[in-house]
């Protein structure tokens, strides 16, 4: 038992800074790339990969919009169209929307919390590699023409073997189980990091809202990912081993698929917007030069939204003939949930109203979220009502609704977050002039594309048809949508252009270009590998604004605090009030996460190809890697010396 | 902590009792895997509610093997708890013995469960009941197997004198996971063997 006496020190001396730099820096070259467990590297990789999937999903959408620009077109065959809309939905929802938020949260968590890394750095690296590998896995199906073709929610019986004999559904089923591993271990890491790695003094009412958003999303993911993994596993055994989970002829229940899928699916919708709403709650006030109005209300409503979000899944199933009692219950839950989810909207409006807005590009993106969220929220409220849903389900009205929600409360805040945190991530500011063009093309393009789509749906155009006849009154609306979609695509492309140009030519940012208030802005841009030379001691919600806020706010100490240099170390604190209670020994860089992911990839491909001996071999490799990974180490103080009798 | 600059903390370092992050990671993993079994049980009761008691393939599931096996598994929870307690008192040999006992009980459980599987008149591809019966108990068996690998590792680590009364988080994690596997079995046992009798 080693008790280490740790004293707070004043500003770290240059020699002390060099010592921690030496301890935390990663090896150069390919080996360093493959073994790095630095949350900042992992966060950046998540962001880049998720944006790459956004681009792929966008191209798929662009092809579909070309097909739908005019009636009676045959650019695509029905089968190609089916695969495209399934891949588009799967890509955007699973490979872009959640991973992009994981990217920002990974980069920001330890910096916002005053820690040197995430609670489980190697698990973190693994969650990225598995995300990448599962994305490649599902796209491998697309590459050989066997992509999922039953929509992203993949209803049975059409996805059963009898109706879908190819590998399409096996790619999707195994790929989703594979991806679920990444999301689950990522969620676990966010939760434990939140509970244990906040800087001394950072009580839970002092953490940024974005952290709360990610925490609630992670708790939800931890509890609902097993539902979708199980649903896909049962589908896979139905297809490969002749089980009868969804097969009516032998006592199976097709609706069980819909229950399991939406028990996952609806909480997931909140999981991919709550962290993004947190970005707005933290970023928007910085450009209003004041603190967020109603922090407590926003945090509590974030949690309330997530809790209620577990009880609304049946509103996806109103048209399946469920008992009226069940529908009434889920309909009222779906309508009540608008109350907590609207709290943030009013907080943001009040923040702008009572602040002194600085109209940067980031501000425009954050503020536009309010508009888009209201439109998407109202259309969601409408379809939460059973009779309205019966009229509108499976029409383009629902497509319009879900795009307002997912683009409005995920992509727009993410772009705001990109303009806001890009200087922290790279050390350079994104170009503001190009930023205006970027914002306005995206905002106009998006609304031109999707606002008329509500009408298309009200006029009865069903979703997921590969073409439509000319005399239905849908022609003009579809043409407008296609033109708007292309304008929107140009807008998104401008984001990438701005990133590429600014990476090389952008203005140097300095530590705090926006004069923002939270801990990440107290360190250099980009942050050093160890994040904080001394662990700060936090006494308020806005450590960098304590002078401006004045009125007796206790002072945080940022340049003096705990200094740890016996290997990679950071401080664990108590769960609620952030009292230091342990020095955590952090692992060095490691190849295990990458090797384990490789073995898992072989395992899933072997299952796909029904090569059981190869699957067994890969499973053995996974086990050996895992045991090596988990073997207690003296350096991490996980064991005592093994010499005593 | 207001006079932080002058503060001195005396803190333990590394993996210590329930403060180590590994323990917290285990709790999260248990929450997620517990949810997985929750969904499996949801599927069971969903079929049962939709299809009624005729849904069950073969005769009413018998307690003959399942009840003694449940007692064996509960006993293994007690032995692993004793191993943990012995380690907290620095009785390493006793801890090793209790762990070995847990391993034996766990293996007996697996063997009895395999016999139970063999005695069934239906297979996973006979009906939705057969599919779910073997998937539910199969998922549990997979967790038992994972737990047993953990117990074997704990035995090796204890035998190599890696742990003492204060530093033994890997042992806490293995034993916590084993308790979870046992608790899940109780819900599986209730669902498969007891619940059909309640509404017949």
Residue of B nearest to A121 (CA): B21
Contact B2 A196 (CB under 8 A): no
Residue of A nearest to B146 (CA): A623
**Residue B186 structure tokens:** 């109780």
Residue with tokens 């050996």: A624
Q: What is the pLDDT of residue B186?
A: 98
Cis peptide before A526 (omega within 30 of 0): yes
Which residue of A222, A237, A557 is in closest CB contact with B28?
Answer: A222
Whether the per-residue pLDDT at B1 is higher than 60: the answer is no
Residue of B nearest to A633 (CA): B162
Q: What is the pLDDT of residue A87?
A: 97
Which residue of A123, A242, A583 is in closest CB contact with B13?
Answer: A583
Residue of A nearest to B9 (CA): A6
Domain count, chain A: 1
Is A611 domain-assigned?
Answer: yes
Whether the per-residue pLDDT at B2 is higher than 60: the answer is no
Best A570, A571, A632 residue to mutate vs chain B (most B CBs within 10 Å): A632
Residue with tokens 């190849």: A591
Q: Inform me whether the C-beta atom of residue A1 falls under 8 Å from chain B C-beta atoms.
A: yes
Contact B25 A120 (CB under 8 A): yes
The CATH number given to whatever domain includes residue B161 is 1.20.120.80
Q: Inform me whether the C-beta atom of residue A263 falls under 8 Å from chain B C-beta atoms.
A: yes
Contact A245 B126 (CB under 8 A): no
A445 vs A354, A368, A416, CA distance in Å?
Answer: 30, 13, 17
Is B135 domain-assigned?
Answer: yes
Q: Which residues of B touch A562 (CB under 8 A)?
A: 9
**Residue A165 structure tokens:** 């004999």
**Which of these, A92, A120, A85, A90, lies nearest to A106 by C-alpha position?**
A120
C-alpha count within 13 angstroms, C-beta hemisphere, residue B118: 7
A574 vs A558: CA distance, rounded Å: 20
Q: Give residues with Cβ within 8 angstroms of A24, minimum separation 6.
A: A38, A116, A528, A529, A530, A568
Helical packing angle, A209-241 and A254-271, nearest 10°? 160
Is B23 domain-assigned?
Answer: no
Rounded to the nearest angstrom, the minimum Cα separation between B43 and chain A is: 7
Which residue of A260, A554, A562 is in closest CB contact with B39?
Answer: A260
DSSP assignment of A131-157, as one string? HHHHHHHHHHHHHTT----STTTT-TT
Whether the per-residue pLDDT at B3 is higher than 70: the answer is no
Coil, strand, or helix at residue A290?
coil
Is B158 domain-assigned?
Answer: yes
Q: Which residues of chain A have pLDDT under 50?
A: 1, 643-645
Q: Inform me whether the C-beta atom of residue B106 falls under 8 Å from chain A C-beta atoms.
A: no
Strand pairing class (A580-585; A557-562): unpaired
Is A327 domain-assigned?
Answer: no
Best A251, A325, A620, A634 residue to mutate vs chain B (most B CBs within 10 Å): A251
Q: What is the pLDDT of residue B94?
A: 96
Q: Which residues of A touch B167 (CB under 8 A)?
A: 1, 637-640
Best B6, B17, B28 residue to mutate vs chain A (most A CBs within 10 Å): B28
Q: Mean pLDDT for chain B?
A: 93
Domain count, chain B: 1
Q: Inform me whether the C-beta atom of residue B83 falls under 8 Å from chain A C-beta atoms.
A: no
Is B30 domain-assigned?
Answer: no
Q: What is the pLDDT of residue A551?
A: 66
A60 vs B195: CA distance, rounded Å: 49
B29 vs A189: CA distance, rounded Å: 10
Rounded to the nearest angstrom, the minimum Cα separation between B122 and chain A is: 12
**CA Rg value for chain B:** 21
Q: Which residues of B touch A247 (CB under 8 A)?
A: 128
Q: What is the pLDDT of residue A644?
A: 45
Q: What is the pLDDT of residue B54?
A: 84
Chain A and chain B share a number of CB contacts under 8 A equal to: 206
Q: Inform me whether the C-beta atom of residue B45 falls under 8 Å from chain A C-beta atoms.
A: no
Q: Which residues of A touch B15 (CB under 8 A)?
A: 585, 632, 636-638
Contact B32 A226 (CB under 8 A): yes
Q: Give residues with Cβ within 8 angstroms of A570, minimum separation 6.
A: A115, A116, A117, A197, A535, A564, A583, A584, A586
Q: What is the pLDDT of residue A638?
A: 86
Q: Which residues of B touch A579 (CB under 8 A)?
A: 1
Whether the per-residue pLDDT at B133 is higher than 90: the answer is yes
Q: Give the residue numbers spanning the domain of A617.
A: 594-630
Is B71 domain-assigned?
Answer: yes
Which B residues in the span 152-181 are in contact with A, Cβ-Cβ below 8 Å?
Answer: 153, 157, 160-164, 166-167, 169-170
Q: What is the pLDDT of residue A554?
A: 78
Q: What is the pLDDT of residue A641?
A: 66
Is A616 domain-assigned?
Answer: yes
Q: What is the pLDDT of residue B20?
A: 83
Best A206, A220, A244, A320 residue to mutate vs chain B (most B CBs within 10 Å): A244
To the nearest 10°, report the CA torsion of A149, A153, A154, A155: -140
Q: What is the pLDDT of residue B200?
A: 64
Q: Which residues of A touch B127 (CB under 8 A)?
A: 244, 250-251
Average pLDDT in the B164-172 region?
Answer: 91
Q: What is the pTM of this model?
A: 0.96
Residue of A nearest to B1 (CA): A201
Rounded to the nearest angstrom, the minimum Cα separation between A220 and chain B is: 10
Q: What are phi and psi of A557, to 5 degrees?
A: -115, 120
Q: Inform me whether the C-beta atom of residue A7 falls under 8 Å from chain B C-beta atoms.
A: yes
Q: What is the pLDDT of residue A5?
A: 64
Adjacency order of strands within the sheet including B8-12: A535-537, A557-562, A3-9, B8-12
Contact A560 B19 (CB under 8 A): no
Q: Give the residue numbers spanning the domain of B134.
A: 37-199
Residue of A nearest to B10 (CA): A5
């Amino acid at each position: 038992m080693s008790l280490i006496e740790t004293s707070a020190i004043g500003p770290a001396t240059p020699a002390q800074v060099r010592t921690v730099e030496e301890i935390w820096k990663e090896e150069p070259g390919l080996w360093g790339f493959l073994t790095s467990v630095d949350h900042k590297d992992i966060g950046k990789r998540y962001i880049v990969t998720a944006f790459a999937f956004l681009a792929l999903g966008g191209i798929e959408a662009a092809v579909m919009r070309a097909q739908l620009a005019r009636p009676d077109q045959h650019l695509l065959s029905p089968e190609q169209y089916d695969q495209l809309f399934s891949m588009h939905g799967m890509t955007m929802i699973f490979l872009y929307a959640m991973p992009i938020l994981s990217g920002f949260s990974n980069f920001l968590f330890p910096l916002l919390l005053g820690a040197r890394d995430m609670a489980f750095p190697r698990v973190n690296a693994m969650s990225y590699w598995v995300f990448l590998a599962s994305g490649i896995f599902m796209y491998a199906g697309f590459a050989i023409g066997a992509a999922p073709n039953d929509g992203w929610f993949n209803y049975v019986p059409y996805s059963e073997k009898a109706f879908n004999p190819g590998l399409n559904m096996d790619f999707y089923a195994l790929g989703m189980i594979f991806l679920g591993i990444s999301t689950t271990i990522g969620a676990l890491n966010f939760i434990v990091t939140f509970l244990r790695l906040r800087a001394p003094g950072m009580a839970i009412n002092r953490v940024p809202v974005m952290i709360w958003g990610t925490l609630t999303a992670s708790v939800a993911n931890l509890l609902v990912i097993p539902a979708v993994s199980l649903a896909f596993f049962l589908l896979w055994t139905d297809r490969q081993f002749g089980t009868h989970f969804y097969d009516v002829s032998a006592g199976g229940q097709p609706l069980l698929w819909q229950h399991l899928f939406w028990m996952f699916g609806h909480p997931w919708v909140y999981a991919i917007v709550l962290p993004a709403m947190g970005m707005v709650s933290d970023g928007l006030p910085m450009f209003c030069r004041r603190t967020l109005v109603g922090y407590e209300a926003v945090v509590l409503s974030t949690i309330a939204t997530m809790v209620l979000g577990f009880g609304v899944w049946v509103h996806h199933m109103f048209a399946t003939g469920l008992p009226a009692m069940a529908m009434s219950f889920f309909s009222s839950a779906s309508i009540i949930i608008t109350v907590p989810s609207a709290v943030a909207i009013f907080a943001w409006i009040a923040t702008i109203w009572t602040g002194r807005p600085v109209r940067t590009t980031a501000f425009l993106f954050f503020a536009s979220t309010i508009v888009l969220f209201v439109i998407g929220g109202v259309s969601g409220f409408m379809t939460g009502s059973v009779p309205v849903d019966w009229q509108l389900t499976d029409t383009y009205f629902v497509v319009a609704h879900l795009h307002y929600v997912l683009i409005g409360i995920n992509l727009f805040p993410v772009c705001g977050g990109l303009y806001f945190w890009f200087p922290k991530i790279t050390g350079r500011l994104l170009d503001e002039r190009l930023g205006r063009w970027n914002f306005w093309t995206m905002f106009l393009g998006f609304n031109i594309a999707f606002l008329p789509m509500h009408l298309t749906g009200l006029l009865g155009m069903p979703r997921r048809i590969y073409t439509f006849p000319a005399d239905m009154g849908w022609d003009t609306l579809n043409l407008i949508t296609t033109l708007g979609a292309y304008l929107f695509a140009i807008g998104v492309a401008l984001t990438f252009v701005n990133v590429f140009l600014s990476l090389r030519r952008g203005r140097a940012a300095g530590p705090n270009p926006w004069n923002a208030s939270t801990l990440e802005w107290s360190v250099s841009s980009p942050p050093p590998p160890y994040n904080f030379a001394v662990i700060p001691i936090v006494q308020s919600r806005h450590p960098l604004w304590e002078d401006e806020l004045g009125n007796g706010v206790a002072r945080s100490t940022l340049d003096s605090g705990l200094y740890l240099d016996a290997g990679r170390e950071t401080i664990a604190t108590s769960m609620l009030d952030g009292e230091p209670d342990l020095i955590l020994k952090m692992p060095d860089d490691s190849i295990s996460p990458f090797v384990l992911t490789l073995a898992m990839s072989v395992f899933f491909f072997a299952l796909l190809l029904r090569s059981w001996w190869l699957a067994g071999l890969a499973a053995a490799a996974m086990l050996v890697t895992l045991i090596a990974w988990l073997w207690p180490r003296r350096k991490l103080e996980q064991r005592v010396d093994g010499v005593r009798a | 902590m207001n006079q932080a600059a002058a503060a001195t903390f005396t803190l333990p370092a590394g993996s210590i009792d329930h403060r180590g992050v590994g323990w917290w990671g285990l709790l999260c993993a248990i929450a997620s895997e517990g949810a997985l079994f929750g969904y499996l049980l949801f599927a069971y009761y969903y079929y049962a509610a939709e299809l009624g008691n005729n849904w069950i393939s073969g005769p009413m599931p018998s307690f003959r093997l399942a009840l003694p096996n449940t007692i064996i598994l509960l006993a293994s929870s007690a032995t692993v708890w004793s191993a943990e307690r012995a380690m907290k008192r620095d009785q390493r040999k006793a801890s090793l013995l209790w762990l070995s006992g847990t391993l034996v009980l766990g293996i007996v459980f697996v063997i009895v469960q395999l016999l139970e599987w063999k005695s069934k008149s239906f297979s996973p591809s006979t009906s939705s009941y057969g599919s779910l019966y073997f998937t539910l108990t199969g998922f549990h068996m997979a967790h038992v197997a994972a737990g047993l690998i953990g117990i074997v590792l704990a035995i090796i680590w204890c035998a190599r004198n890696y742990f003492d009364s204060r530093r033994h988080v890997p042992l806490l994690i293995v034993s916590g996971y084993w308790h979870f596997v046992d608790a899940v079995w109780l819900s599986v046992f209730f669902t498969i063997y007891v619940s059909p009798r309640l509404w017949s």
